[in-house]
Amino acid sequence: MAYGAHHSPFPPPRPDLGLARDCEHCLGWGTVVTRDGGHELCRTCQPDPRDGETGPGSTP
């Protein structure tokens, strides 16, 4: 029997797929699966929204 995804009170993260296109860590998805089965933005290709940057390598 197939089981559906667990319901989460938080919406899934929205990655910038343009930045994720050539990422070898997340394989272009922009998100990675955590050990507990959740999704989070890839730390390699996605900027931290708290930093206020627009992308990797950008200058403030």
Q: What is the pLDDT of residues 18-60, one digit of tens each?
A: 999 999 999 999 999 989 888 899 999 998 766 665 555 554 4
Report d(CA 23, CA 26) in Å as an integer.
6
Does residue 57 fall inside a structural domain?
no
- In this structure, is residue 22 part of a structural domain? yes
pTM over 0.95, yes/no: no
Q: Could you give the CA distance from residue 21 to residue 28 in angstroms, rounded to a whole number?
A: 5
Position 32 scores a pLDDT of 94
Q: 42 lies in a domain? A: yes
In a domain, 7, yes or no: no
Report CA 44 to chain centroid distance, whole Å.
Answer: 9
The whole domain housing 40 covers: 14-52
Q: State how many domains the chain has.
A: 1
Report if residue 2 sits inside a domain. Answer: no
Within a domain: 58: no
Structure tokens at 6: 């667990």
Q: How large is the average pLDDT for residues 10-20?
A: 87
Does some domain include residue 35? yes
